[in-house]
Amino acid sequence: MRVGIVGYGNMGGAFAKSLANSVGKENITIYEISEQKRKEAIEDGFAVAKDLYFLAQSSDVVLLAVKPKDVRSVLLELKESLKGKILLSVAAGLELSFYEEVLGKDQKIVRLMPNINLLVGKGTIAVVHNGKLEEEEFDEVLKILSCCGSLYEIPESLFDSFTALAGSGPAFVFQFIDALALAGVKEGFSYEEALRIASDTLAGSAELIRTLGGNPNDWTTKVTSPGGTTIEGLAYLERKGFKGMVMRCVEKTSEKAKRLKG
C-alpha cells in the first residue's frame, strides 16, 4: 500500500516514521508547504511530492496531517484526484460528515484520533470510517496502522471522550510523573534520577496490567500490607479525593472538546 502524507509536522512526521515500519519508506510520499519541513522529510529519507495532485497519483491512501483550519482548502485541491482512494485524517474535531460534505458521500474516509505517544510508535489511536471502504480495504488500513500503536475502533460519538482520555491523557500522566519525581527530590534524589524512577514505575505498572490483566484495585491490594507503609499514602490520596479529581479532570476536558465543536 502506497501512502501519501499531507503535512510533515508533529503528527505527519510521527506517522511517516511509524508507517515506514509497515509499508516501507519507499512507499511513503510527503507533501508539505514549509520549506524547512520538506528538507526534514528528505533528510529522514522520504520522497517529497511537488504538488498535491502528484501526491495523490503516487498513493493508494492519503493521510491528512494538517491543522483543522487548513483541511478544507487541502481537500478542495485534492478532491478530483482522491476518487477511488482512501482518505485518512487526524484533524481534531472534524467529523466524517464534514469530509463527505466537501468530497461527496462516496469518498472512502477514515477518521483517526492519535496521541503524542505516536512519536515512539506507541500511540493510542481511535479509528472510525464512513462505511464506504470494502472490508478488506479497512483491514489493510488497520494492518498498516498497527505499527503506530494500539488501535481502538469506536463509534464517532465517543471521539470527544476519547480525545479527553487518550488525546489529552498523556498531559495528565506527564503531570503525575512530574509530581512523583518532585516527591523523589524531596526524599533526596536528583530530579533526573527521580524522573527515571517515576517513569519506570509507571511504565512497569502499566505493562503489568496489560500483560497479567486484572483490576488495578487487586494489584493495589497486593502491594498494601495491613498497617504498612503503602496504606498510609493511599489513605491520604483517598482523603484528598484523588480518583474523583482525575475523573472530573477528564470530564471537564471532554466537555470542552464538545463545546469547541458545537
Ligand X SMILES: NC(=O)c1ccc[n+]([C@@H]2O[C@H](COP(=O)([O-])OP(=O)(O)OC[C@H]3O[C@@H](n4cnc5c(N)ncnc54)[C@H](OP(=O)(O)O)[C@@H]3O)[C@@H](O)[C@H]2O)c1
Residues that bind ligand X (rule: CB under 6 A) add up to a total of 26
Task: Return the number of the residue (77 or 196) whose C-beta is nearest ligand X.
Answer: 77
Going from the C-alpha of 115 to that of each of 155, 165, 168, the distances in angstroms are 18, 10, 8
Q: At what angle do helices 242-261 and 230-239 cross, to 10 degrees?
A: 50
Residue 74 CB, shortest distance to ligand X, in Å, is: 5
Cell of 221: 491490594
Nearest to 113 by CA among 82, 138, 148: 148
Return the number of the residue (70 or 137) whose C-beta is nearest ligand X.
70
Output the smallest distance, CB 116 to ligand X, in A.
5
Q: Is 99 in the site for ligand X (CB under 6 A)?
A: no
Stretch that binds ligand X, among 10-18, 78-86, 154-162, 230-238 (CB under 6 A): 10-18
Q: Which residue, 15 or 194, is less far from ligand X as judged by CB?
A: 15
Binding mask 145-184 for ligand X (x = CB under 6 A): ----------------------x-----------------
> What are 166's three cell numbers?
487518550
Question: Considering beta carbons, is residue 22 or 170 the nearer one to ligand X?
Answer: 170
Distance CA 119, CA 221 (A): 34
122 touching ligand X, by CB under 6 A: no
Q: Contact between 87 and ligand X (CB under 6 A)?
A: no
- When asked if residue 41 is in the footprint of ligand X (CB under 6 A), the reply is no
Q: Which residues of 203-233 are buried (b: 16+ CB within 10 A; e: fewer)?
A: eeeeeeeeeeeeeeeeeeeeeeeeeeeeeee
**CA 156 centroid distance within chain:** 15
Q: Enumerate binding residues for ligand X (CB under 6 A).
A: 6-12, 31-34, 37, 65-68, 70, 74, 90-92, 113-116, 167
